[in-house]
Amino acid sequence: MTGLSADERSLLRTAAREALRERDWLTEARDALDGEPPSDSWPIAMAAGWPGLLVSEADGGAGLGPAEALLVMRELGRELAGVPLIGHLMATALLATPAPPGTGSAPLARAIAAGERRAAWLPARVDAAGGISVDPIEGPGRAGGPRIDERDRVTASVGWVPDAPGAHVLVCSAADGDGRPCTALIPASEESVEEVASYDGSRRLGHVHLREAPATRITTPVATIERTWALAQALVGAESLGAAERLLEMSVAHARSRFAFGRAIGSFQAIKHQLVEVLRRIDNARALAGRAGTSLAADDSDAYSVACALRFSAGYALDFAARAA
């Protein structure tokens, strides 16, 4: 995968903003919290070419890298856009390893790259003991991850899966009877995905319940699963960073236009201090976003640490901006 020049990234950013401009995403998010069914936003992603962002050109994708994916997620965060992209991007990242001949997965992988089949990634990571673990549906800590048997049937319970409702394919890391990891592609169904309420109206979440579900198995190195988990942290952080940046812009505009005691409230020292603190936290996250993009692309040894730092820093900035705005 190749990265873009600064000018090309600027064009990608502009194109993303143009693609998202047609919808009032904030109103849609509020309506979703009130129980309104979400409108289909996947055609926007397909028209922009985002489903294949991380897929090689040889496999029908754009052949771009983590930095470009972070840029697009940052723009989605700026708009609070309810485009179910993050789960799909993670699925394509996990499928980056070519499938062995005869698995029958190549046509499906190409359909996923083109966006004809929307995928959702079941968040799973390799734990310290070398096993696969996931977020539980209930309770703290980590739970055992998906298992795949000798008949290529998957059993799993995974909580809070981003973009699972409405997905055509579920993509997950699973362990076989000997504990060896692999990737499993499972057709999604209404029976396997339980949509759950969330405080975030811009993203649909689901609990996934699989019991001996037929799957297509692809051998996947442990390193690929670990890289995918690191990329997920960075993408969530980039989306949070974009939302924090938009909140700062809205707060500054409000501080300039709102008057009290004959003066713009932005001239008051207390307001200035709050806005500067938001900017300081955002700048920290911006620096980490740049580092995360290059570290993930180069597969540096510190890529996971930097990605986690980005997620924490951006979430910290967003939380403070939301409270201070």
pLDDT tens for each residue of 202-217: 999 999 999 999 999 9
CATH code of the domain covering residue 27: 1.10.540.10
What confidence tier does 129 reach under pLDDT thresholds 50, 70, 90? confident
Say yes or no: 215 and 170 in one domain.
yes
Query: Is residue 255 pLDDT above 60, yes or no?
Result: yes
**Type of residue at 14:** T
Task: State phi, psi for 83 to the nearest 5 degrees.
Answer: -90, 125
**Type of residue at 255:** A
In a domain, 288, yes or no: yes
Which of the listed residues 57, 92, 127 is the one where a domain comes to its end? 92
In a domain, 98, yes or no: no
Total domains in the fold of the chain? 3
And the tokens for 305? 């640490």
In a domain, 78, yes or no: yes
The mean per-residue pLDDT over the stretch 242-269 comes to: 94
The model carries a pTM of: 0.94
In a domain, 180, yes or no: yes
Q: Distances from the Cα of 4 to the Cαs of 1, 66, 236, 289, in angstroms?
A: 10, 11, 21, 15
Mean pLDDT of the chain: 93
Which of the listed residues 175, 203, 220 is the one where a domain comes to its end? 220
Query: Is residue 104 pLDDT above 60, yes or no?
Result: no
In a domain, 132, yes or no: yes
Say yes or no: 235 and 310 in one domain.
yes
Helix (H) or strand (E) holding 121: strand 119-122
In a domain, 65, yes or no: yes
CA separation for the pair 148, 73 (Å, rounded):
32
In a domain, 76, yes or no: yes
Query: Is residue 160 pLDDT above 80, yes or no?
Result: yes
CATH code of the domain covering residue 255: 1.20.140.10
Query: Is residue 1 pLDDT above 60, yes or no?
Result: no
Instruction: Give 40's DSSP letter.
Output: P
With 0-12 CB in 10 A as exposed, 13-18 as middle and 19+ as buried, what is 264? middle
Q: Do residues 78 and 240 lie in contact, with contact meaning Cβ atoms separated by under 8 Å?
A: no
Say yes or no: 145 and 236 in one domain.
no
Q: Distances from the Cα of 198 to the Cαs of 30, 35, 160, in angstroms?
A: 12, 11, 9
Helix (H) or strand (E) holding 158: strand 153-162
| Sole residue written with tokens 């696969």 | 132
Sheet order of strands, 143-144 included: 124-126, 132-134, 143-144
Q: Do residues 84 and 118 lie in contact, with contact meaning Cβ atoms separated by under 8 Å?
A: yes
For 46, the domain range is: 6-92
How many CB atoms are located within 10 Å of the residue 325 CB?
17
CATH code of the domain covering residue 189: 2.40.110.10
Which of the listed residues 199, 220, 241 is the one where a domain comes to its end? 220
Say yes or no: 152 and 201 in one domain.
yes
